Amino acid sequence: MNKKPYDPNNVFARILRGEIPAERVCDSKHSFAFYDISHAAPVHVLVIPRGEYTDFHDFTSRATNEEIIDFWKLVDTIAAEQSLLPTGFRLISNIGHDSGQEVFHFHVHMLGGAPLGPILAPAQK
Protein backbone atom coordinates (compact mmCIF):
# COMPACT_ATOMS: atom_id res chain seq x y z
CA MET A 1 0.00 0.00 0.00
CA ASN A 2 1.08 3.55 -0.64
CA LYS A 3 3.03 4.94 2.30
CA LYS A 4 3.96 8.28 0.75
CA PRO A 5 2.88 11.36 2.69
CA TYR A 6 0.51 13.65 0.80
CA ASP A 7 2.42 16.11 -1.40
CA PRO A 8 0.50 19.42 -1.43
CA ASN A 9 2.23 20.36 -4.69
CA ASN A 10 0.96 17.37 -6.69
CA VAL A 11 -0.65 18.31 -10.00
CA PHE A 12 -4.25 17.78 -8.82
CA ALA A 13 -3.70 19.89 -5.71
CA ARG A 14 -2.41 22.62 -8.01
CA ILE A 15 -5.49 22.24 -10.25
CA LEU A 16 -7.73 22.61 -7.17
CA ARG A 17 -5.89 25.83 -6.22
CA GLY A 18 -6.26 27.16 -9.78
CA GLU A 19 -2.48 27.18 -10.35
CA ILE A 20 -2.80 24.82 -13.33
CA PRO A 21 -5.73 25.09 -15.76
CA ALA A 22 -8.11 22.18 -16.17
CA GLU A 23 -11.30 21.71 -18.15
CA ARG A 24 -13.92 21.59 -15.41
CA VAL A 25 -16.78 19.08 -15.74
CA CYS A 26 -18.65 19.84 -12.51
CA ASP A 27 -18.07 20.17 -8.82
CA SER A 28 -19.67 19.89 -5.40
CA LYS A 29 -18.95 20.94 -1.82
CA HIS A 30 -16.18 18.36 -1.30
CA SER A 31 -15.30 17.15 -4.82
CA PHE A 32 -14.21 18.39 -8.22
CA ALA A 33 -14.28 16.81 -11.69
CA PHE A 34 -12.34 17.67 -14.84
CA TYR A 35 -11.33 16.06 -18.14
CA ASP A 36 -8.15 14.00 -18.23
CA ILE A 37 -5.49 15.83 -20.25
CA SER A 38 -4.69 12.62 -22.12
CA HIS A 39 -8.02 10.98 -22.73
CA ALA A 40 -8.12 7.20 -23.08
CA ALA A 41 -11.77 7.10 -24.24
CA PRO A 42 -14.24 9.56 -25.82
CA VAL A 43 -15.31 10.48 -22.29
CA HIS A 44 -12.49 10.49 -19.73
CA VAL A 45 -13.29 12.42 -16.58
CA LEU A 46 -11.23 12.52 -13.37
CA VAL A 47 -13.09 12.98 -10.10
CA ILE A 48 -11.14 14.09 -7.04
CA PRO A 49 -11.95 15.07 -3.46
CA ARG A 50 -10.99 18.60 -2.44
CA GLY A 51 -9.36 17.15 0.68
CA GLU A 52 -5.80 15.89 0.87
CA TYR A 53 -5.90 12.10 0.37
CA THR A 54 -3.25 10.13 -1.50
CA ASP A 55 -5.38 7.24 -2.72
CA PHE A 56 -8.59 5.23 -2.31
CA HIS A 57 -7.54 3.63 0.97
CA ASP A 58 -6.39 6.94 2.46
CA PHE A 59 -9.68 8.57 1.38
CA THR A 60 -11.94 5.78 2.59
CA SER A 61 -10.21 5.39 5.95
CA ARG A 62 -9.77 9.10 6.81
CA ALA A 63 -12.44 11.14 5.01
CA THR A 64 -15.71 11.99 6.69
CA ASN A 65 -18.87 10.18 5.64
CA GLU A 66 -20.07 13.50 4.21
CA GLU A 67 -17.00 13.74 1.97
CA ILE A 68 -17.30 10.10 0.87
CA ILE A 69 -20.99 10.40 0.03
CA ASP A 70 -20.40 13.71 -1.74
CA PHE A 71 -17.66 12.11 -3.86
CA TRP A 72 -19.63 9.07 -5.03
CA LYS A 73 -22.81 11.09 -5.60
CA LEU A 74 -20.81 13.39 -7.87
CA VAL A 75 -19.51 10.37 -9.83
CA ASP A 76 -23.11 9.26 -10.33
CA THR A 77 -24.24 12.77 -11.34
CA ILE A 78 -21.48 12.94 -13.94
CA ALA A 79 -22.43 9.52 -15.31
CA ALA A 80 -25.92 10.89 -15.95
CA GLU A 81 -24.80 14.28 -17.27
CA GLN A 82 -22.24 12.74 -19.63
CA SER A 83 -24.94 10.33 -20.97
CA LEU A 84 -22.96 7.30 -19.79
CA LEU A 85 -25.80 5.47 -18.04
CA PRO A 86 -27.58 3.97 -21.09
CA THR A 87 -24.47 2.47 -22.69
CA GLY A 88 -22.31 1.90 -19.61
CA PHE A 89 -18.92 3.08 -18.49
CA ARG A 90 -15.92 2.08 -16.40
CA LEU A 91 -14.53 3.39 -13.11
CA ILE A 92 -10.82 2.94 -12.44
CA SER A 93 -8.80 4.03 -9.45
CA ASN A 94 -5.10 3.29 -9.40
CA ILE A 95 -3.76 2.67 -5.92
CA GLY A 96 -0.06 2.46 -5.26
CA HIS A 97 2.92 1.01 -7.01
CA ASP A 98 1.56 -2.07 -8.76
CA SER A 99 -1.32 -0.10 -10.27
CA GLY A 100 1.02 2.47 -11.83
CA GLN A 101 -0.58 5.37 -9.93
CA GLU A 102 1.06 8.56 -11.17
CA VAL A 103 -0.70 11.29 -9.24
CA PHE A 104 -0.91 10.77 -5.49
CA HIS A 105 -4.13 12.67 -4.91
CA PHE A 106 -7.03 10.19 -4.81
CA HIS A 107 -8.95 10.13 -8.08
CA VAL A 108 -11.36 8.00 -10.02
CA HIS A 109 -11.18 7.77 -13.79
CA MET A 110 -14.60 7.69 -15.50
CA LEU A 111 -14.26 6.18 -18.96
CA GLY A 112 -16.96 5.72 -21.55
CA GLY A 113 -18.56 6.89 -24.75
CA ALA A 114 -17.55 3.80 -26.76
CA PRO A 115 -16.91 0.09 -26.11
CA LEU A 116 -13.79 0.01 -23.93
CA GLY A 117 -12.53 -3.51 -24.57
CA PRO A 118 -11.18 -5.86 -21.91
CA ILE A 119 -10.20 -4.26 -18.64
CA LEU A 120 -6.70 -5.77 -18.70
CA ALA A 121 -4.45 -7.62 -21.10
CA PRO A 122 -3.86 -11.25 -20.08
CA ALA A 123 -1.18 -11.45 -17.38
CA GLN A 124 2.35 -12.26 -18.56
CA LYS A 125 3.77 -15.53 -17.21
Using CB under 6 A, which of 89, 101, 110, 112 touches ligand 5GP?
A: 101
Q: Is 93 exposed, middle or buried (CB count within 10 Å of its CB: 0-12, 13-18, 19+)?
A: middle
**Cβ nearer to ligand 5GP, comparing 9 with 38:** 38
CB of 113 to ligand 5GP, least distance (A): 16
Cβ atoms of 117 and 79 within 8 Å: the answer is no
Query: How far is Cα 71 from Cα 15, in angstroms, rounded to an integer?
Result: 17
**Residues in 46-85 that interact with ligand 5GP by CB under 6 A:** none
The reply on whether position 98 binds ligand 5GP by CB under 6 A is: no
The reply on whether position 18 binds ligand 5GP by CB under 6 A is: no
